[in-house]
Amino acid sequence: MEVTEFKVELVRTVDESYPIVVGRGLDAKVVELASRGDLAERRIAVITDTTVVELAGKSIARALADAGRRVDVLAFPAGEPNKVRATKEALEDQLIALGCGRDTLIVAVGGGVVTDLAGFVAATFTRGVPYISVSTTLLGAADAAVGGKTAVDTPAATNLIGAFHQPSAVVIDVDRWLTLSDAQIRDGMGETVKHACLGDVQYFDALEDAFVTRGMSPAEFVRDDGLAELVARRNCEIKRDFVVSDVHEGNRRMALNLGHTIGRALETAMGYTMSHGECVAVGLNLQAKWGVQFGYLTQGEADRIERLLRAIGLPTALPESVTVEAIMDAMTHDKKGKSGAIRFVFERGIGDMMVFDDGALARPVPSEEIADFLRSAI
């Protein structure tokens, strides 16, 4: 038989634009967003966790039901250890048992664990259904809510299995931050400082004024309308600007990994006993120190970053209980590892990113060089 080859022409232009709404008391706004366009006729599955279901999940479900929508609430056990394939499978089985199908709208209510997991469910359930991300934590609003990266964790690394699936809308209700503990607020500030470092020196100045100069506490911060709105909005705006220019992380979006190459590996090596924001803060501080050695920023700029992180109450150094070998093992399993080298992003000063050969924002660094730096940091 003669070998034949032919082509499937499949060129698509897809508009995946969506609104981001920031404010206080936004349950009614969730109802309104869920009524726009082809979302209006869909049945709704609110996916949340066993903590947030009482704090926000049920109230949003009631608001949707009062508007005449058919609503089911699915709550999985709270916590990062449950952001795994088994939980995703359990949620999918519940959706199937409820009779949900391609006519379903998922409303994810919670922090980053919920929006990551529920977004991944939405990406694959009946080959994809729409979802609205209702972020209830500062960390989730800064990190997971915007960008369409959905995933679950594995023993090898966090967020190793997932899909790009953009939400239909993102809602950040700052009133939900009033229910957070000081530790949870500080957790979100790790990602917040990262955004300022990579994208906006004036934003960094504002954070520095609040936490270093004025000594603002986490509780004072979330009750300050001006600063809370600034943080919620600028985090989303900065992340949006990187995402829209590079949806699938080909180059520019990699800047959002600032502090994460070490931070994610530390998180895994510590068995998730340190929070994500704490690990990012350590990674952010270490890349700044390393950047000074490379000439990417001054010692004074690195000192400002460390001083801000400390004023917020975040850690800045590797804990004595972790080994370099454990961090490197986690790092080489991460998606940033390639051909014996790890792709690293570095900031240039405060508020900008280094650009390397051919416009790349990430430069490969040999694993041995990274391990040597980490040993010197310990």
Looking at the chain, which residues constitute the CATH 3.40.50.1970 domain(s)?
20-179
Q: What is the mean pLDDT of each run of 10 residues along the chain (378 residues)?
A: 92 88 96 97 98 97 98 96 97 98 98 96 98 96 86 87 96 95 96 96 98 96 95 94 73 87 93 93 97 97 98 96 94 62 94 92 92 92
Beta strands in the chain (DSSP E): 20-23, 43-49, 71-76, 104-110, 131-135, 149-152, 161-164, 169-173, 337-338, 341-344, 363-366
- What lies within 8 Å, CB to CB, of 371 at 6+ separation is 324, 328
pLDDT for the residue 167: 96
- Return the residue matching tokens 């990274």: 370
Instruction: Give the count of alpha carbons within 13 A of 272, CB side only.
Output: 12
Looking at the chain, which residues constitute the CATH 1.20.1090.10 domain(s)?
182-377
The DSSP result for 30-67, as a single string, is HHHHTTSGGGTTSEEEEEEETTHIIIIIHHHHHHHHHT
pTM over 0.75: yes
CA distances from 352 to 109, 149, 199, 263, 348 (A): 33, 23, 5, 20, 5
pLDDT for the residue 335: 46
The DSSP result for 104-128, as a single string, is EEEEEEESHHHHHHHHHHHHHGGG-
For residue 103, give the amino acid letter. Answer: D
From the list 93, 147, 83, 146, the residue with the least C-alpha distance to 117 is 83
3-state secondary structure of 18: coil
Q: 20-179 sits in which CATH class?
A: alpha beta
Please say whether the structural domain 182-377 has been given the CATH code 1.20.1090.10: yes
> For residues 229, 32, 17 and 185, what is the CA-based torsion angle, rounded to 10 degrees?
30
Sign of CA dihedral 344, 345, 348, 350: negative
pLDDT for the residue 336: 45
For residue 8, give the amino acid letter. Answer: V
- In the numeric block, which tokens belong to residue 263? 């931070």
291 alpha-carbon distance from chain centroid:
24
Measured CA to CA, the distance from residue 220 to residue 312 in angstroms comes to 12
Measured CA to CA, the distance from residue 362 to residue 11 in angstroms comes to 29
Measured CA to CA, the distance from residue 264 to residue 253 in angstroms comes to 17
From the list 91, 106, 88, the residue with the least C-alpha distance to 159 is 88
